[in-house]
Structure 1
């Protein structure tokens, strides 16, 4: 969760809500600043005032959603023993289910527009043995691919089944 919570109905809150919707529907690259501002009922100046840029707004939205997902991943892993194959399986599946339920499949499936480490990969790395770091990269990529398939119209159940298949013994 962010350290701040925008006042409901404020320009900042409306921009975040509009960004979440627009980035999910069209993807980061296809969304124009003018579209975000219009959807939020504010000027582009308001967007720049609160977030500095489209990337600044995107980063706030993406960071918040990823934090919610990684918190769930960590909780799922802890519930089944903390580390290892079973924990990774639980974390990946819970993360997929949460992203589908939140309606953030495209947002989380796309490679981030911000230049920073991937929190999904880092969360998975923490659950794996030290010599299995590459597995975290592969699993995060598979998770994102399943999300993008879902965003593209495939049933969420099909994406989940694909991940279950990849994660089975």
Structure 2
């Protein structure tokens, strides 16, 4: 069997009876009658093409989660949160913060497509893992036990909900724990 192609295309074609249908091929325009603009391109993904492994400390993971949260909130127009993280000599007064946030928000594209929220998804996945690991470490629950609702009310314990166009990231604790 030959190697699976890296890229394939879904193009308008005909079935064996001549009826219109969509067909797979490795060329966006296999004949002069095909329009390459009508082809939908698919790229092979998998460990070789899209997965990465990053080894972090707990503090580094928390920093990435927080940075992703700020980026996602900026994209959503929640500028005030990011302004509070600026390393200013003195914090802004409420009126200053509202003025700067309002001005920056006025520069946003009115009808632009909202960016996929991969940053929000990363934030959710990392904060969820860190929260559960802290709950294990603090003895609130043991691995494999159900959520202890009176002690674990925050959204940080909720399963992440995908908001972007990518599959949710996976995070594992060193030693292979999921």
TM normalised by structure 1 equals 0.32
Task: Flag the structure with larger Rg.
Answer: 2
Bigger helix share: 1
Query: Whose relative contact order is higher, 1 or 2, with alpha carbons under 8 Å and at least 6 apart?
Result: 1
TM normalised by structure 2 equals 0.31
